[in-house]
């Protein structure tokens, strides 16, 4: 499943949100505090949120992380592997072009009519989930901009939320 969209946020703003989310997930699961330079190739195990019980165990592998251009991650679990890619291109207008893709490879391939129905259902759910996620990220960035614009002190804060040191 592929989705292409022009976003009215910069590639850096979008990637900052992805990065915060990924680093927070890693911290909550592994207690490791990583930096951006350590994300490319990083692997860890976790349980999927939602669903019944404690969630499905899975292995997470950040296949590629190149700020602010590409983030590709794979989630491997008993039923198969899902690979998600966010690829951003900077545009002159302060916006960016997003190419999103999601692929699922089943551990045991389905055949015939079951395969067609399964893939169609997965693609529909994946497209809906991707659109919601992208909208949420962009909306959050817009909210941050409004807050920073209305409070000049917030605009002075660095990425880590601390005021930069003046030398």
Q: Which architecture does CATH list for 2-155?
A: 2-Layer Sandwich (3.30)
Report the distance separating Cα 140 and Cα 146, nearest Å.
Answer: 10
- Is the omega angle on the peptide bond into residue 86 within 30 degrees of 0, that is, cis? no
Which residue ranges make up each domain of the chain? Answer: 2-155
Q: Count the residues in the chain.
A: 167
Report the distance separating Cα 75 and Cα 129, nearest Å.
Answer: 15
Asked if 18 and 108 count as a contact pair (C-beta separation under 8 A), the reply is no
Q: Kindly state the percentage of the chain with pLDDT values over 70.
A: 81
Q: Identify the band that residue 40 occupies on the pLDDT scale cut at 50, 70 and 90.
A: very high
Residue 53 falls in which region: left (phi positive, over 0), alpha (psi -120 to 50) or beta: left
Report the distance separating Cα 139 and Cα 143, nearest Å.
Answer: 6
pTM: 0.80
pLDDT digits 0-9 by tens, 60-88: 999 999 999 999 999 999 888 999 999 99
pLDDT digits 0-9 by tens, 91-143: 988 899 999 999 988 887 766 666 667 778 888 999 999 999 999 999 999 99
Q: Give the CA distances from residue 104 to residues 45, 81, 82, 108, 135, in Å, rounded to whole numbers and listed in that order.
A: 19, 6, 4, 12, 22
């Amino acid at each position: 499943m592929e989705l292409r969209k022009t976003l009215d946020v910069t590639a850096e703003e979008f990637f900052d949100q992805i990065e915060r989310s990924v680093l927070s997930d890693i911290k909550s699961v592994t207690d490791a505090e990583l930096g951006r330079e350590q994300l490319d190739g990083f692997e860890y195990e976790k349980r999927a949120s939602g669903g019944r019980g404690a969630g499905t165990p899975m292995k997470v592998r950040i296949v590629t992380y190149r700020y602010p251009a590409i983030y590709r991650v794979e989630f491997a679990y008993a039923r198969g592997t899902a690979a998600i890619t966010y690829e951003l291109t900077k545009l002159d207008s302060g916006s960016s072009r997003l190419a999103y893709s999601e692929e699922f490879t089943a551990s045991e391939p389905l055949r015939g009519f079951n395969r067609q129905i399964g893939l169609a259902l997965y693609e529909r759910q994946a497209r809906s989930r991707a659109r919601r996620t992208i909208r949420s990220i962009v909306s959050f960035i817009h909210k941050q901009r409004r807050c920073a614009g209305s409070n000049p002190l917030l605009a002075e804060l660095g990425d880590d939320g601390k005021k930069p040191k003046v030398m």
